[in-house]
Structure 1
Amino acid sequence: MRKVLLPTIIFVATALLVLRLFYLQVIDDTLKLKSDNNAIKIKYEYPERGYIYDRNGKLLVANQPSYDIMVIPKDVKDIDTMEFCQLLNITKEDFLKKIAKAKVYSPRLPSLFLAQLNKKEYAAFQEVQRNFSGFYIQKRSLRDYQVSVGANIFGFITQVNESIIEKNKYYKSGDLIGKQGVEESYEEILRGIKGVKYIQRDKYNREIGSYKEGRFDTIAEQGKDINLTIDAVLQQYGEELMVNKRGGIVAIEPKTGEILALVTAPSYDPSILVGRQRSKNYTMLYHDSIAKPLYDRGLLAQYPPGSPFKILTGLVALQEGAIDLNTSVVCNHGFSFAPGRFMRCHCHGGVVQLHRGIYESCNTFFSTSYMRTLDKFGNASVGVDVWSKHLKTFGLGEFMGYDLPTGRRGNIPNSKTYKKIYPGWRWSSKTIVSNAIGQGEVLMTPIQLANMMATVANRGYYYTPHIIKKIKGEVIDKKFRTKHVTTINKEHFETMVSGLFDVYNFGTASGLRVEGIDICGKTGTAENFTIIDGKRVQLKDHSIFVAFAPKDNPKIAIAILVENGGYGATIAGPIASLMLEKYIRGKITRKDLETRILARDLRPEYNRFIKNPVNDTLINVTKTNTLLKPAAKDSSAANKSAASQG
């Protein structure tokens, strides 16, 4: 048996090898096609990218024709270089550099020589193209934006680099690819499939027809259209309200997790990243270290959430039995929690219970509730881990899993956090009590704040926030249709909603009511400081507001953060009321709030304190990027409006 085994293996292996060679050389022509590159010219047909619509079917992004000049270096022979350069308005030095770069990529394959000719340049070159062997026109499509908003949502398209070409064989030199936003997230759906034609050439390099009668040719397939969850009208209104401000607005439909608006400020018109000036304009935006228009503050900026976090502090305390509806705390406008340490409070003082604690935003009540929650377990380390686990069921402290390519985790600390911060020291609930009011080590992004409010609006569950509503011919990802339930009982949410409703009735947002709409909300003011030369420098606080409406059967949950905006009810609160009414009614009745917010200009506040990353000094800055959206009209009266605490 052993004597037969080895010869059998050799015979079978030889037979398989011979059959494979026969198949490749006689039956399958694809390798022959590749070996015939000298006699075959490959032409690509580029499909249009899929169109992008909003949730209501409004066209947001279409396409426009673009013409690129491609070059096959080995075919460039006997041309008038000076005439060529004059025709395309380039120098001979540029010509030689581009040819050299194309040769590095491949002497035999097409490379991009000059991108995105306008119609006049295209027409001029087309007339004399026959005089320049080795060069030809490749038609592509560029984006044609139907709106001037949503740049951070759409992203942009740009040419692939060598790294992308090496990683993904679909792309060739000169191809376009989506970057940032939905263009990147849904690139494979939007790009379509390239068509390929193989052209036979004779020994004089003349085209003589299709190779193998077009047997290997393929037809281009247009990219699939998509509908976003965004409401274009709400998005535009949000961007208008945020002119001359910095921050983010995120609005979510609670019942579905669909993102209704995703505003970052400052922003820019997406059309400036189209055409021959794209690279120049992108470079200018990228290097604007002051306004950072490419930085999506709604998804990336991590802030201390401030008072809105008291919602979670109260829910966890209720769930763990640390407090109940009748728990009373005496507030003397301040709370001493350790010798020499004091937390201020701006509520009206006296005996405070949960309901009043919510609508008056009592620091004392929620700090006490937090310490009782941790101390209930007899060990702060165990208590903070229980607290942390509850919060993570709200999607906090982790990447949320939405369908945009950028984001941050935020931070929800646990016992490991404090063992690193306080090694060898016995810390207690008093040590970390700042967490109770959304300070301390707690960090959240605006989209996490909005999702928190969507969860409260739903009384304990949420769907992963997402930007895609419909893909033509496909079903959206199952994870966006999966319900996530928190560890907090539903009855505790009802208690919290009642308090949030009274924030608008006679609490910190009583001046922001919209007649006929039952709004539940929470003001917030997050401490804002920087460290310069080892010293803590206090800056103007961030203005925060979270809300949902209507109270019953809610249709929208929202979070607004305005950097250096001051109290929550001063700027973020009015924006919330306006956005909610705009979405629910389609019109604005609080014209007083609208006039004030549109006129409010915070640029002087931003220019007053800018941190120089080179030497950690504070500098004044007056630079304004001309590519950013135009400023709203100034109004000294609006800027002098009285601030209310929140």
Structure 2
Amino acid sequence: MGWATCLIDRLDSEPLCCVPLQTQIVGWGAFYPVSFALQYLEGRKYVIQTIFVVVALLFAARLFYIQVLDGSYKLAADRNTLQRIVQVPYRGLVYDRNGQLMVQNTPVYDLMVIPREVKQLDTAYFCQLLQLPIEEFRLAMTAAKNYSRVKASPLIQNLSTPELAAIQDNLIDFPGFSIKAHMARSYKTENLAHALGYVGAITPKLLESPKYAKYIAGDNLGITGLESFYEKVLMGQRGVQYRMVNVRGIEKGAFRGGEFDTLSVAGLDLHTSIDSELQAYGELLMANKRGSIVALDPKTGEILAFVSAPYFEPARLSGKGMGNRYMDLLNNPERPLFNRPLMATYPPGSVFKLVNELVALQMGVVTPYTSFPCNQRLVKCTHRHEAPTNVGIAIKQSCNPYFYQVMRTTIMRGRSSNPKEDARLGLAEWRRQVMSFGLGQQLGVDLGSERKGSIPSPELYDKMYGRHGWNFRTIYSLSIGQGEIGITGLQMANIMATIANRGYYYTPHFVRGIGQSGPLPEYQQRHHTNIVPQHFDAIIPGMQAVVDGRGGTGNLASLAQFGISVAGKTGTVQNAHGPDHATFAAFAPAEDPQIAIAVFIENAGFGGTSAAPMASLMIEKYLRRKVERTQWETWLQGDASKFIKKKH
């Protein structure tokens, strides 16, 4: 009998477990591993079955959730039969201080395109329908493809309602094209373009920035001015609606009763401090001139008028064809886009003598009764007069030698045995006091592109002349507001507001209310200078004498016939590139200031004969709501040609 037969007989006669261990090992050891594997697999079978059952249950539960409970997947699957309509919110409106509407919204339409969905387009017929040159169409399509082949982007923007009606019924024959409605800016005013700014379409480059994550192609946003600064409150919040449509694009009602719809939220309105009548009057006076007018309410810092000349109508940067009109303005040699009150910096001329006198009084180097001779060997004086015996007379006569000696006393105080080092230390202290007026830095007005101006430092002159290469004689022109000083029209008006308030100012701003709220918190805080109030009381009588005193340099600004006392200062700014610039800064009434103003006219000569009467007309218009001295209007408008710098 062979070994296999014995093994079978043995297995039939007794259980495997009863076979002696020695017999298992010696007699049939080769069979044991096979038997063990069969037993092991028999146990694993149930584990695998359990896993399959659990996975099947998970899939079933997920499918039930997707198909029955969660409609968002069905929404995604049904997009070919659903229309997603984005509701563009109304952009906030803009009003003047008297509630007069200046900026509103008008419905316009953009033709959008998704390049990947454009199929078998009859380009000639399509362009004929749109009345669009084929080359322009090709350029627009190229730009859309460069942006994205699968996302919608604007092909033609700012279509009017009649233009839309001409093409809307035919769009169903052109897959890949759709209409997006939105509101464009329109204007109820012809003035204030530099402050209002303008709105334009967001660019593909901006869309790449996380800052503009809430925007989509074709959206508008503020580009400059108040439109840009207050973009977040003006823009509002978009809404979305889903509508069922048939294969012809005809709407069949809301999807699932509007369950996935969201409502748009309109932007907040801006209530500005601008006096529209005063603004229009200022632009009329500055016609055919170059320069600026800024008027403030010194008690609040609210900007009443903001004139930048040359100017343009704000509607020129709105609507179809805006790009071409923008380029015309950009290439205009008179630079009408240049925001002069914020960006043009000039030496302030004699207006700055007031600041120098206040610094000297604060530092204790002069008193209100300090007298200096009109020594024209030091610096020339443009006015004939006797020696000033006090600061009031010096201001009225605008005596250059007097203020030369005031500043020399301020700078050269014997802090060092080395006169050059003494000048360096003195200039540093002078600069610290001057900058407390908000000069040499951005004031923080609610517009972009504000320039700091410049108040020179010892380091500047070290760079120009070397550490010990300069002294007071090098920088004496600062005493009369010339040299390396540069301030903006807004800063000059703010100096007047600060003097009117006897030592403090509010940051100038345009917006006095946002929606139902007031201005931003930063525009309600006082900023104090380093000068104590009694020193301002020492110079204001001299400023009144400039206008109403006999022999004052600003007599043409007088409003005494109306019982209004004006405190002001004239300035004639030397200009190496042509005729001198004219400036005049003032506030009124002197006893209870309600308006502070600065006028700067390029190449207009003496401030007392051009800028002063213009400022007084603005004050008369604001305080009396009418102008009776029309002879000055005629004079300023009739002689406007002499203010224009000839270009060859």
Partner of 1:512: 557
Residue 380 of structure 1, aligned match among 423, 429, 441: 423
What does residue 598 of structure 2 align with?
Answer: 559
Match of residue 633 from structure 1: none
SS in 1 for 2:474: coil
2:229 paired with 1:192: no
Give the whole-Å Cα distance in 2 for the aligned partners of 1:322 and 1:561. Answer: 31
**Contact 2:88 / 2:181 at 8 angstroms: preserved in 1?**
yes
Contact 2:288–2:644, Cα closer than 8 Å, also in 1: no
Q: Return closer, same or farther for 1:604/1:314 CA change in 2, 3 Å cut-off.
A: closer
Is 1:587 matched up with 2:629? no
The aligned counterpart of 2:223 is 179
* 2:286 is the alignment partner of 1:247: no
| Change in 2 beyond 3 A, CA 1:195/1:347 | farther
2:351 paired with 1:298: no
Amino acid corresponding to residue 575 of structure 1 in structure 2: M
Question: Mean alpha-carbon deviation: is it higher for 30-39 or for 398-407?
Answer: 30-39
Cα distance 1:141–1:204, how it changes in 2: closer, same or farther (>3 A)? Answer: closer
The whole-number CA distance in structure 1 between the counterparts of 2:443 and 2:216 is: 34
Deviations 1:138-190, CA, capped at 9 Å, x for gaps: 21111121111111111111111111111112221111111111111111111
- CA 1:475–1:469: 2 relative to 1, 3 Å: closer
Matched, 1:370 2:407: yes
Q: Any unmatched runs of 5+ in structure 1?
A: 1-17, 337-341, 531-538, 611-619, 621-646
Q: CA deviation at 1:121?
A: 1.6
Alignment partners' CA distance in 2, 1:354 and 1:563: 29
Aligned-residue offset at 1:418:
1.6
Name the CA distance, whole Å, in 1 between partners of 2:154 and 2:346. Answer: 44
Note closer, same or farther for the CA distance 1:257–1:572 as it changes in structure 2 (3 Å cut): same
Sort the Cα spacing of 1:75 and 1:380 in 2 relative to 1 into closer, same or farther, 3 A. same
Question: Which residue matches 1:601?
Answer: 640
Show the counterpart of 1:632. none
Aligned CA distance change for structure 1 residues 29 and 170 (closer, same or farther; 3 Å): farther
Letter of the 2:391 partner, please give it: L
* Equivalent residue for 1:54, pick from 88, 96, 121: 96
Instruction: Give the letter aligned to residue 127 of structure 1.
Output: D
- CA gap of 1:183–1:28, structure 2 versus 1, over 3 A, is farther
Cα distance, 1:405 vs structure 2? 1.0
Query: 1:641 corresponds to which residue?
Result: none
- 2:385–2:397 CA contact under 8 A, matched in 1: yes
Residue identity in the other structure for 1:320? M
Q: How does 1:232-311 map to 2 (within 5 A)?
A: 232-288=276-332, 290-311=333-354
Q: TM-score, normalised by structure 2?
A: 0.84
Aligned equivalents of 2:336 and 2:151: distance in 1?
A: 38
Confirm whether residue 395 of structure 1 aligns to residue 442 of structure 2.
Answer: no
Change (3 A) 1:502 1:603: closer
Task: Work out the CA distance in 1 between the residues paired with 2:507 and 2:454.
Answer: 18
Partner of 2:161: 119
Give the aligned partner of residue 496 of structure 2.
453
Alpha-carbon shift at residue 130 of structure 1 (Å) = 2.3
Aligned residue for 2:144, secondary structure, equals helix
1:358 matched to 2:395? The reply is yes
CA shift digits 1:291-314 (9 cap, x unpaired): 100001111100000000000010
Cα drift, residue 385 of structure 1: 1.2
Range moving further from structure 2, 493-502 or 133-142: 133-142
What is the Cα deviation at residue 592 of structure 1? 1.9
Give RMSD over aligned pairs: 2.4
**Do the aligned partners of 1:353 and 1:365 also contact (CA within 8 Å) in 2?**
no
* DSSP-derived class of the 2:428 partner: helix
- 5 Å-filtered alignment, 1:210-221, equals 213-221=257-265
Write 1 or 2 for the structure with the bigger share of strand: 1
Give the AA of the match of 2:133: T
Deviates more, 1:87-96 or 1:494-503: 87-96
Q: What do the CA deviations read for 1:546-585 (whole angstroms, capped 9, x no partner)? A: 0000001100000000000100012111111000010000
> Partner amino acid for 2:161?
K
User: In structure 1, how many angstroms separate the alpha carbons of the residues matched to 2:121 and 2:399?
Assistant: 80
1:208 Cα deviation (Å)?
A: 6.8
- Distance in 2 between the 1:31 and 1:56 partners? 53
In 1, Cα distance between equivalents of 2:217 and 2:262:
19
Tell me the residue number matched to 2:185.
143
Give per-residue Cα distances to partners, 1:441-474, cap 9 Å, x unaligned.
1110000000000000001110000010111133
Runs of 5+ unmatched residues, structure 2:
1-57, 416-421
Name the counterpart of 1:521: 568
CA distance in 2, matches of 1:208, 1:120: 26
Contact preservation (8 Å) 1:331, 1:352: no
Kept in 2, the 8 Å contact 1:544–1:572? The answer is yes
80, 87, 106: which one aligns with 2:129: 87
Provide the rounded CA distance (Å) in 2 between the counterparts of 1:603 and 1:551. Answer: 32
Equivalent pair of 1:164/1:171 in contact (CA under 8 Å)? no
**Equivalent AA in structure 2 for residue 104 of structure 1:** N
SS at match of 1:251: strand
Where do residues 217-232 of structure 1 align in structure 2 (5 Å cutoff)?
217-232=261-276
User: How far did residue 104 of structure 1 move?
Assistant: 3.0
Q: Larger C-alpha radius of gyration, 1 or 2? A: 2
Contact 1:73–1:108 under 8 Å retained in 2? yes
Aligned residue in 1 for 2:614? 575
CA contact (8 A) 1:347 1:361 kept: no
Q: Residue 589 of structure 2 corresponds to which residue in structure 1? A: 550
CA deviations on 1:491-531 (whole Å, 9 max, x unpaired) are 1100111110111122101233112110000000001113x
The one-letter code matched in structure 1 to 2:163 is E
Question: Which residue does the alignment assign to 1:9?
Answer: none
Deviates more, 1:552-561 or 1:174-183: 174-183
- 1:384 aligns to what SS in structure 2? helix
List aligned pairs for 1:74-113, cutoff 5 A: 74-113=116-155
SS in 1 for 2:92: coil
Paired residues, number: 572
Q: Matched residues in 1 for 2:306 and 2:70: separation?
A: 52
CA–CA separation in structure 2 for the residues paired with 1:98 and 1:431: 59
Distance of aligned partners of 1:522 and 1:83 in 2 relative to their CA distance in 1, 3 Å threshold: same
Larger mean Cα displacement after TM superposition, 464-473 or 504-513: 504-513
Distance 1:205 1:592, change over 3 A: closer
Query: Structure 1 residues 112-121 or 541-550, which shifts more?
Result: 112-121
1:455 & 1:35 partners in 2: Cα distance? 66
Shift of 1:250: 0.4
State, as a whole percentage, how many aligned pairs show the same letter: 40
Is 1:67 aligned to residue 109 of structure 2? yes
Q: 1:569 to 1:38 in 2, by over 3 A?
A: same
Structure with a larger share of its residues in helix: 2
Q: Which is worse superposed, 249-258 or 170-179? A: 170-179
Query: 1:335-369 CA distances to partner (integer Å, 9 max, x unpaired)?
Result: 42xxxxx4444241335421110011010111100
Q: Which amino acid aligns with 1:47?
A: P
User: Quick one: structure 1 residues 97 and 355, their matched pair in 2 at CA, closer, same or farther if it must change by over 3 Å?
Assistant: closer
Paired letter, 1:214: G
Change (3 A) 1:166 1:364: same
Equivalent of 1:315 in 349, 355, 358: 358
